[in-house]
Amino acid sequence: MSLALVHARARAGVHAPPVRVEVHLSGGLPCTQIVGLPAAAVREARDRVRAAILCAQFEFPARRITINLAPADLPKDGGRFDLPIALGILAASGQIDRQALAGHEFIGELALTGELRGVDGALPAAIAAARAQRTLVVPPDNAEEAALAGNAQVKVARTLLEACAALAGEKALPDAQAAAVAPSPLPDLADVRGHAQARRALEIAAAGSHHLLLVGSPGCGKTLLASRLPGILPEASEAEALETAAVASAGGHRVDPARWRQRPFRSPHHTASAVALVGGGPQPRPGEVSLAHNGVLFLDELAEWKRHALEVLREPLESGVVTISRAARSTAFPARFQLVAAMNPCPCGWAGDRSGRCRCSAEAVARYRARISGPLLDRIDLHLQVPRLPPAELHGDAPGGEASAVVRARVVQARTRQLQRAGKANACLDPGETLRDCALARPDQALLEQAMERLQLSARSMHRILRVARSIADLAGADAIERPHLAEAIGYRQLDRAAE
């Protein structure tokens, strides 16, 4: 029977659905036809495969070749099916043993010389192959990335000829090895001079995974503070790191072996579009909010962003998922990120500065701040004014603050209390869990109600204040939220107070 079956993997979001490459040889005029919803790059595989087979000193069958990529309704794109198609043709024509293909999966693009080139989404493919209990064969460019899936059996083939020799039992393929690279150091919080309140807000945000907005004049240290947040966050678990790396791999980004266990820090330019933020395209790819999954998304110059680009952040901030819908299908990308934003207080940037240099009118300041919609501002837990430091505090001999390692130890203890209590960070509590874990004494409840009435806060803002107060209590090692914790949490709604 001139039929061969080869297992491969497609790319659909952060998943790698299975694809069965079915190759059939029959009589008739010699031709090669690929069916199964192939994109242009997949249809062109017939020419690459033909040249690679001939360069490997195999015979390309002069028969009618039908290649089916099943399931037929799943779109296939890229050059990832070149290697399985070539092996299927060789197996169907009897040049290699078709039984040897069982238990293996193959991905890789073929050069005309028969060499294998890397493809996107190797890590999700390795994870999926491990669940299917099959050995995955990848090109050398994907070896280090695929090896991050620790329980996967991954082999590396440099050429089509090497893959065929391994299937014939002539020479075993080497195992994929993760690169032994020392982790890259993160920026240290000790570099920040002064800013005691901002450092405190940063610690609270790290403890409860809260969103943070920094408002201050140019050069006051907002970006410096934001860049130190990853260094005080708890270390990502292996499952979180793998999930984040899989998103990067699906987006065509190389996974750095030195940083894959570190939480990502994404800082897109303020001219980025809404699609760049949430993802999209004909074949949907993850955007910045998904590339920051389990990490930090820093948006500098928040008021300079296009209004539409900012508004698309509303749903991911609440749900932690981005769903990109197309006419035929929809793709979901994880987007559980921590937002840190920075902006100036007015168009000239000096409103409230002790120098008094701001000449913006009250209407100009109001219009500038109105660029950030109320619903988006409502979803940010902590609002903080960052003042400009006096020159004496910036001197090289001025005392520095605590190092990231010291602050991180307190953050880890607070996060451990949250995981033991609810199994998640405080910022991720749903309304029912918030009422259960953030209960207040009656006098404190009256204080919160007065603040809501005076500042005209929404129910969402009330819940976010309670979660921030719970994080402050966790940092203090308290079992219940006390009045100082609640008062401090209310104090971090500074833009609400400014509007009032």
Please, what is the end-to-end C-alpha distance for the chain in angstroms? 80
C-alpha 344: how far from its chain's center? 27
| pLDDT score at 500 | 47
Cα 19 to Cα 8: distance, rounded to the nearest angstrom: 5
| pLDDT score at 282 | 76
| Residue pair 423/415 in contact by the 8 Å Cβ criterion | no
ω into 139 cis (within 30 of 0): no
> What domains lie within the chain, and their CATH numbers?
3-167 (3.30.230.10), 189-403 (3.40.50.300), 429-500 (no CATH)
Cα 127 to Cα 242: distance, rounded to the nearest angstrom: 9
| Residue pair 34/43 in contact by the 8 Å Cβ criterion | yes
CB-hemisphere CA count at 13 Å for 87?
Answer: 36
> Tokens standing for 273?
């579009």
* pLDDT exceeds 80 at position 387: yes
Spatial CA neighbour of 9 closest among 154, 102, 135, 122: 122
Q: Write a three-state SS string for the chain.
A: CCEEEEEEECCECCECCEEEEEEEEECCCCEEEEECCECHHHHCHHHHHHHHHHHCCCCCCCCEEEEEEECCCCCECCCCCHHHHHHHHHHHCCCCCHHHHCCEEECCEECCCCEEECCCCHHHHHHHHHHCCCEEEECHHHHHHHCCCCCCCEEECCEHHHHHHHHCCCCCCCECCCCCCCCCCCCCHHHCCCCHHHHHHHHHHHHHCCCEEEEECCCCCHHHHHHCHHHHCCCCCHHHHHHHHHHHHHCCCCCCCCCCCCCCEECCCCCCCHHHHHEECCCCEECHHHHCCCCEEEECCHHHCCHHHHHCCHHHHHHCEEEEECCCCEEEEECCCEEEEEECCCCCCCCCCCCCCCCCCHHHHHHHHCCCCHHHHHCCCEEEEECCCCHHHHCCCCCCCCCHHHHHHHHHHHHHHHHHHHCCCHHHCCHHHHHHHCCCCHHHHHHHHHHHHHHCCCHHHHHHHHHHHHHHHHHHCCCCCCHHHHHHHHHCEHHHHHHC
Q: What is the per-residue pLDDT across 407-464, written as a single tens digit (0 to 9) for each? A: 999 999 999 999 999 999 999 999 999 999 999 999 999 999 998 888 888 888 899 9
* Averaged pLDDT, 8-33: 93
User: Bridge-partner residues for 384, per DSSP?
Assistant: 214
Q: What is the per-residue pLDDT across 181-227, written as a single tens digit (0 to 9) for each? A: 667 788 899 888 888 899 999 999 999 999 999 999 998 889 999 99
* Own/partner pairs, 42-50, CB within 8 angstroms, 24+ separation: 42/69, 42/76, 42/77, 42/78, 42/79, 42/81, 45/79, 45/81, 45/82, 45/85, 45/110, 46/85, 48/79, 48/82, 48/109, 48/110, 48/111, 48/112, 49/82, 49/85, 49/86, 49/89, 49/110
Q: What is the per-residue pLDDT across 269-323, written as a single tens digit (0 to 9) for each? A: 999 999 999 998 777 889 999 999 999 999 999 999 999 999 999 999 999 999 8
| pLDDT score at 1 | 59
* pLDDT exceeds 60 at position 15: yes
Say which amino acid occupies 175.
D
| pLDDT score at 70 | 95
Sequence-separated (6 or more) residues with CB below 8 Å from residue 56 = 114, 159, 160, 161, 164
User: Bridge-partner residues for 67, per DSSP?
Assistant: 23, 34
User: Bridge-partner residues for 8, per DSSP?
Assistant: 19
Q: pTM score > 0.95 for this model?
A: no
| pLDDT score at 261 | 86
Q: What is the per-residue pLDDT across 51-96, written as a single tens digit (0 to 9) for each? A: 999 999 999 999 999 999 999 989 899 999 999 999 999 999 999 9
